[in-house]
Amino acid sequence: MSGLEEKIFREYMAFFEKAERERRWNLFQDIPWERANKEASEELALCAETFCSVEMYLPDYVANGINLVRSYFGQAWFQANWAYEESKHSLTLMQYLLRSGKRTEEQLTDLQHQIFAKQWNLPFHTPRQMTFYGCVQEMATFVIYVKHRERAAAENDECLRTIYDYIARDEIAHCRFYQSVIKVLLEEDREGTLADMAHVFANFEMPGVGIVPDYDSRILKMREAGIDRNVFIQKVYMPILKYLGVGRHEMLAAQRAAIDLRRSGERRRDTSIEGLAGAPNVTDAPQALSA
Ligand SMILES: [Fe+2]
Ligand SMILES: [Fe+2]
């Protein structure tokens, strides 16, 4: 194991230990199913169904994600544990839709067929870029679930509130693991990692876009369901930079450097991150600061 891989493996063990000790929850025992509010609004159900749909692309997330990092122990084992935790998210939301009477078995089977007719592909192609993508995506998902936890509470749906609470805790834990890996990568190669971060920020898109059936019309109907640019900057972008100890100006400089590199048509080979990544190609790097 290289020094870098060893550090990442240690981060994984710390993550896993904490997950086993503090964060496990049980779909069959820990959710107050009887407290689902059958009178809650259709909008609340539509939101749950949409989140469930995004979570249902799990086979693609797992297959693509784990293959990208299969030779890096800490990262690969994280993907396996991550898959187990994420599998509970779609299952639990599906159970909620059924048990609350908001959807029938038939409707959900139909939705599953539509979902599996499309495939999710990796938005970025190096482990380092995907690690940072995971970090941003998990944080954004966390912010969304926290928001919807409050909405479920406002509609007196204690069951859905509890579900969102457990899921949000998982999502922020995933984000923290990715952040800890990025910290290690920044120590190894600050410039290269910053360039990848700038690239991912500039091209970030949530995983459901373009594949979840009727995604655009769902978003239109789901009042305040997502997060707009301001919320993204305040609750996702800035906290991540702060946690990583990266100043906004440093990030902007990385972005300018990446754009300059692209302009001069240079390709940079990055060997300092050892086995973790194929060389990030910054020739197609960032064009704007935020998603
Ligand atoms: Fe999830
Ligand atoms: Fe997650």
Q: Kindly identify the ligand whose nearest atom is closest to the C-alpha of 82.
A: 2
pLDDT at 224: 66
Residue 118 lies in a domain: yes
What is the domain count for the chain? Answer: 1
- Average pLDDT of the segment spanning 259-271: 60
Residue 270 CA, distance from chain mean position: 26
pLDDT at 282: 30
Query: Measured in angstroms, how far is the CA atom of residue 187 from the centroid of ligand 1?
Result: 29
Mean pLDDT of the chain: 86
Query: Measured in angstroms, how far is the CA atom of residue 167 from the centroid of ligand 1?
Result: 6
Looking up tokens 């910053």 gives: 194
Query: Measured in angstroms, how far is the CA atom of residue 84 from the centroid of ligand 1?
Result: 10
Residue 289 lies in a domain: no
Contact 41, 155 (CB under 8 A): yes
d(CA 102, CA 63): 31
Q: Kindly identify the ligand whose nearest atom is closest to the C-alpha of 56.
A: 1
Residue 85 lies in a domain: yes
What would you report as the CA-atom Rg of the chain, rounded to the nearest whole angstrom? Answer: 20
Q: Kindly identify the ligand whose nearest atom is closest to the C-alpha of 138.
A: 2
Other Cβ atoms within 10 Å of 143 Cβ, number: 22
Residue 280 lies in a domain: yes
Nearest residue to 268 via CA among 203, 189, 183, 204: 189
Query: Measured in angstroms, how far is the CA atom of residue 211 from the centroid of ligand 1?
Result: 16
Query: Measured in angstroms, how far is the CA atom of residue 142 from the centroid of ligand 1?
Result: 9
Query: Measured in angstroms, how far is the CA atom of residue 206 from the centroid of ligand 1?
Result: 12
Residue 29 lies in a domain: no
Query: Measured in angstroms, how far is the CA atom of residue 34 from the centroid of ligand 1?
Result: 23
Residue 290 lies in a domain: no
d(CA 209, CA 200): 16
- List pLDDT tens digits, range 142-196: 999 999 999 999 999 999 999 999 999 999 999 999 999 999 999 999 999 999 9
Residue 279: band (very low, low, confident or very high) from pLDDT cuts 50, 70, 90: very low
Query: Measured in angstroms, how far is the CA atom of residue 174 from the centroid of ligand 1?
Result: 9
User: Which residues crowd ion ligand 1, with CB under 5 Å?
Assistant: 86, 89
Q: What is the pTM of this model?
A: 0.86
DSSP states along the chain: --HHHHHHHHHHHHHHHHIIIII---TTTSS-GGG--TTS-HHHHHHHHHHHHHHTTHHHHHHHHHHHTTT-HHHHHHHHHHHHHHHHHHHHHHHHHHHTTSS-HHHHHHHHHHHHTS----SS-SHHHHHHHHHHHHHHHHHHHHHHHHHHHHTT-HHHHHHHHHHHHHHHHHHHHHHHHHHHHHHH-HHHHHHHHHHHHHT---TTTTTSTTHHHHHHHSTT-S--HHHIIIIIIHHHHHHHT--HHHHHHHHHHHHHHHHTT------TTGGG-PPP-GGG--SSS--
User: Which residues crowd ion ligand 2, with CB under 5 Å?
Assistant: 138, 171, 174
Residue 96 lies in a domain: yes
Contacts 24+ apart (CB under 8 A), 116-122: 118/211, 119/57, 119/60, 119/211, 120/57, 120/60, 120/61, 120/64, 120/207, 120/211, 121/60, 121/64, 122/64, 122/65, 122/68
Query: Measured in angstroms, how far is the CA atom of residue 174 from the centroid of ligand 2?
Result: 5
In this structure, what CATH number is given to the domain that contains residue 264? 1.10.620.20
Residue 152 lies in a domain: yes
Residue 109: band (very low, low, confident or very high) from pLDDT cuts 50, 70, 90: very high
63: containing domain = 3-23+35-284
